[in-house]
A and B are shown apart, each in its own frame.
Chain A
Amino acid sequence: MGIKEFWTVARKRPVTALALVLLWIASTIGWEVIHPKLLALLQPPPPFSHLGGEYTGTIYGSGQFDLCFVEDEAHPSTHEYDVRGTMLFASGAYVDYKGSTSGNRLDMKYARGGNSAVSDNGTATFYAPKSGKGPVEGYYVSKRFPENRQNLMLTKIAGNCRLANWGQGW
């Protein structure tokens, strides 16, 4: 089919013409290359895909809960995150958390105890904001004292993760 014939078809049957173009691109570039790009175009991005960076919010009045979404540098297109968190108490003690996402939910679990006699380890649950951007809303429940529970509202403070205290001191 020549250019002239193609434009005749395109004017009369635009959908057929688009399919022809896609077929031509697929055959030229290769289906293995175009398939994931097409899927990425058709599928909505994962719920947490726009949340990279560091978030923070207050807990227990004077405490602080920090959350980090560290993008997988080897596979940035997958939007997979290594999710880390730190709960800082007014006393200076801190507790580390690690998280995993499931659909639109992020579950944070106690990873390791802090630099003092911190007993209040537990779980935190967050939800991907429906708008695709922050704030990240959720809650924390103490494992040892389930009546110790707090709502959490984390706002973005940096595009890159710092979490200076994460994994330090033990």
Chain B
Amino acid sequence: MASHRAAPIQAALTTRRATPEDAPVCGRICYDAFSAISAQHNFPCDLPSAEVAAGFMTMLFSTPGFYGVVAELDGRIVGSNVLEERSIVMGVGPITVDPTVQNAGVGRRLMLDVLQRARSQHAAGVRLVQAAFHNRSLSLYASLGFDVREPLSCIQGKPRQRSIAGCAVRPATPADLDPCNALSHRVHGFDRGADLAHCIERGTALVVERGGRITGYSSHLGFFGHTTCEANQDLQALLASVDSYGGPGILLPSRNTEMLRWCLAHGLRVTQPMTLMSMGLYNDPRGAWLPSITF
């Protein structure tokens, strides 16, 4: 297999805080980079178009709680990275580099920038999700100190079963925020209250009740949402309650074999393998859960 490694271009490379005005260029680079690496491995691209990617970057670069950074080479934007800093554990991504200048240190520089930012914000831990087929990104993150935590299966489809006995799913309301945060703390050791509050406001969040109390919630059943439950039956109830999952799909920890088999037996399919990685504070969750594409 041919291998190409470009000369480092660190001397001419600069980074600066991203602004919403950078979103069209960063969106184009994001789409080009993701579609190129996915096509090389015969997987579908995570983003449908450059326009959708630009809209996504606009949201990330203008929403409080997100830190965006762009890398410039001779004044031209060649990549970007984002740090979600809404909770004590922070998430990285998307990080993308213009395919014409890849393998020359731009990605590492962008990663070092957000890790420095996370340190300055006193993050207890930093996490990310990478495409498992992407050897270079795995190597970059591992060399920076990230540990592999969970193999993930991206899952999409329409579930055959539409409800689980004893579990009731309904849209989340602001009154559900405290019990959901308490549940997250029990399962993960920290809460993602700011993210969840935003999703409740947008109307994407769901809760599942069993025995008269909240036993699970999802900020959004899809690529960009996270889900936390006490047990697999709560997670099954949430997954069964919708027609499909947002974006490329949900991210199921593959070691949850009971859930993986349940998904496969109920008409869902695995679309691609991914990996959850972390640096700093990490503890195995005590419950059933789905990370978002950030963490």
Q: Which residues of A contact B (CB under 8 A)?
A: 103-105, 125, 127, 137-139, 141, 146, 149-152
Main SS class of interface, A: strand
How many residues of B sit at the interface, in one of the four size bands? Answer: 10 to 19
A125-B190 contact in complex given A141-B88, A149-B122, A151-B124, C-beta closer than 8 Å: yes
Interface centre among A138, A141, A151, A152 (most CB of B within 10 A): A151
Q: Is the beta-carbon distance between A151 and B283 smaller than 8 angstroms?
A: no
Identity of the chain A residue whose Cβ is nearest the Cβ of B65 in the assembled complex = A147
Q: Is the beta-carbon distance between A105 and B189 smaller than 8 angstroms?
A: yes
Q: Mark B179-213, 1 if CB is under 8 A from A, else 0.
A: 00000010001100100000000000000000000
Q: Is the beta-carbon distance between A127 and B281 smaller than 8 angstroms?
A: yes
**In the assembled complex, which residues on chain A have CB atoms less than 8 Å from the CB atom of B281?**
127, 137-139, 151
In the A-B complex, the 6 residue pairs with the smallest Cβ-Cβ separation, listed nearest first, are A139-B124, A151-B124, A150-B122, A139-B88, A149-B88, A151-B122
**In the assembled complex, which residues on chain B have CB atoms less than 8 Å from the CB atom of A149?**
88, 122
Sample 26 A-B pairs with CB under 8 A, ordered by A number: A103-B286, A105-B189, A105-B283, A125-B185, A125-B190, A127-B281, A127-B283, A137-B124, A137-B281, A138-B124, A138-B281, A139-B122, A139-B124, A139-B190, A139-B281, A141-B88, A149-B122, A150-B122, A151-B88, A151-B122, A151-B123, A151-B124, A151-B125, A151-B280, A151-B281, A152-B124
**In the assembled complex, which residues on chain A have CB atoms less than 8 Å from the CB atom of B189?**
105, 125, 127
Q: Which residues of B contact A (CB under 8 A)?
A: 88, 122-125, 185, 189-190, 193, 280-281, 283, 286
**In the assembled complex, which residues on chain A have CB atoms less than 8 Å from the CB atom of B193?**
146
**In the assembled complex, which residues on chain A have CB atoms less than 8 Å from the CB atom of B125?**
151
Identity of the chain B residue whose Cβ is nearest the Cβ of A148 in the assembled complex = B122
**In the assembled complex, which residues on chain A have CB atoms less than 8 Å from the CB atom of B283?**
104-105, 127
Smallest Cβ distance from A59 to chain B, in angstroms? 9
In angstroms, Cα B125 to Cα A137, docked, is: 10
In angstroms, Cα B280 to Cα A163, docked, is: 27
Smallest Cβ distance from B193 to chain A, in angstroms? 7
In angstroms, Cα B3 to Cα A64, docked, is: 51
**In the assembled complex, which residues on chain B have CB atoms less than 8 Å from the CB atom of A137?**
124, 280-281
Identity of the chain B residue whose Cβ is nearest the Cβ of A147 in the assembled complex = B194
In angstroms, Cα B181 to Cα A141, docked, is: 13
In angstroms, Cα B123 to Cα A146, docked, is: 13
In angstroms, Cα B90 to Cα A149, docked, is: 12
Identity of the chain B residue whose Cβ is nearest the Cβ of A127 in the assembled complex = B283
Smallest Cβ distance from A140 to chain B, in angstroms? 9
**In the assembled complex, which residues on chain B have CB atoms less than 8 Å from the CB atom of A151?**
88, 122-125, 280-281
